[in-house]
A and B are shown apart, each in its own frame.
Chain A
Amino acid sequence: MMTKKKEFKLIEIFEFEKLEKWLVQMHREGWKFTDVNLLDIYCFEKCEPQEVIYRMDYQVKRMGDDYFQLFSDCGWEHVFNMNGFHIFRKNDTECNDGLRRDAEIFSDDESRLGMIKRIFRGRFIGGCLLAAGTLAGGIVLINQSINNIQYAANYWGLFLFSMCIVYAYMMLIIGKRYFNFEKQMGDASKALIKWRVFIGGCATMAAVAETLLIWGIVR
């Protein structure tokens, strides 16, 4: 009988509620989450089907013993950590608060938004660097191969360009979700201004990139 199972699933970390729900569903079907690697392959172990709650936290800093102890005191088992993404679980039977407030690890909007902000900062800067890097690489390679259609750099350049588009799209989604959260929880007009500045910044960057590319081709 199979006791271990691997599943590939792409879940953007900003959609952590989706991840939490999926892990709950797997546990209900008798598959206990053990770990996930950088390639988004999730590993599960066969177990008794159970109602278990999964929650995710993100911390930039390396957490001390007191962090894990506090969660454990509150009934949360620390299951997994990768680059600051902490996954906790708790048996549903241990949640005896009528309003199910003990089924959460955050109890107010401020702290919930705090986590989303940490993810945003952690992911956004890295994502932007990747987008900028692939774009620059694409421009250099296409410029090099512009007079030589058969040149392999052509394909690499196109590949990097498409990667850049993927990264840029991801950053846009992350940005949109972040500002939506902020709008829900705080000052809507401030969130709107920030969102416009953000979109403006992205558009400017795209325009500069395009100019560079066209300039390179014309030359």
Chain B
Amino acid sequence: MDAHIKKVYVPMTETGFYILLSLKKPNHGYAVVQSVKEMTDGDIVLTPGTLYGSLSKMEKDGLIKFLKEVDKRKLYKITDLGLEVLELEIKRIERLYRNSKMVMDDKMETM
């Protein structure tokens, strides 16, 4: 993974993270909108302008790849590089969770 990718995508925004996650299996733009909405209980609402830009940028950076066009909708899927970035992020978030849990539990006991 080159320095540019690491700098831009690690850490990544919650939205970016969920877009990548939704592309673990082949999906088109609107399916990503729906899947992210479902996964976050409606907390993240993707808008078409933003999503179109994110998909183009991720494709350019090689995190996702274009598979084919079905009914005017472009199907994308995550690449090996994209998976690598996603795993780095997951590790970071796991550590975030572990540390916050540790500190907060400790605080509870002393209170």
Contact = CB atoms under 8 A, between A and B. Distances in A.
Contacts of A74: 30, 33, 47-48
A15 interface: no
Interface in B20-61: 29-30, 33, 42, 45-54
Contact of A102 (B45, B52, B53): B45
B43 to A, nearest CB: 10
Interface in A77-120: 97, 99, 101-102, 104-108, 111, 114-115
Nearest to A59: B52
A70 B50 contact: no
Given A66-B73, A73-B30, A74-B33, A101 B45 contact: yes
A105 B47 contact: yes
A104 B29 contact: no
A151 to B, nearest CB: 53
Contacts of A101: 45, 47
Given A66-B29, A74-B33, A108 B15 contact: yes
In this complex, the member of A108, A114, A115 whose beta carbon has the largest number of chain B beta carbons within 10 angstroms is A108
A148 interface: no
Contacts of A104: 47, 49
A105 B73 contact: no
A182 B33 CA distance: 28
A102 B47 CA distance: 7
A147 to B, nearest CB: 58
A70 B73 contact: yes
Interface residues of B, number: 21
A67 interface: yes
B4 interface: no
A57 B50 CA distance: 11
B48 A70 contact: yes
Interface string B57-83: 000000000000101111000000000
B13 interface: yes
B23 to A, nearest CB: 15
A76 interface: yes
A65 interface: yes
A117 to B, nearest CB: 11
Contacts of A115: 49
Contacts of B29: 66, 69-70, 73
A87 B69 CA distance: 24
Interface of A: 55, 57, 65-71, 73-74, 76, 97, 99, 101-102, 104-108, 111, 114-115
6 contacts: A55-B49, A73-B30, A104-B49, A105-B48, A106-B47, A107-B15
Interface of B: 13, 15, 29-30, 33, 42, 45-54, 69, 71-74
Given A66-B69, A73-B29, A102-B47, 11 more contacts: A69-B29, A69-B71, A101-B47, A102-B45, A107-B15, A107-B45, A107-B46, A107-B50, A108-B15, A108-B50, A111-B54
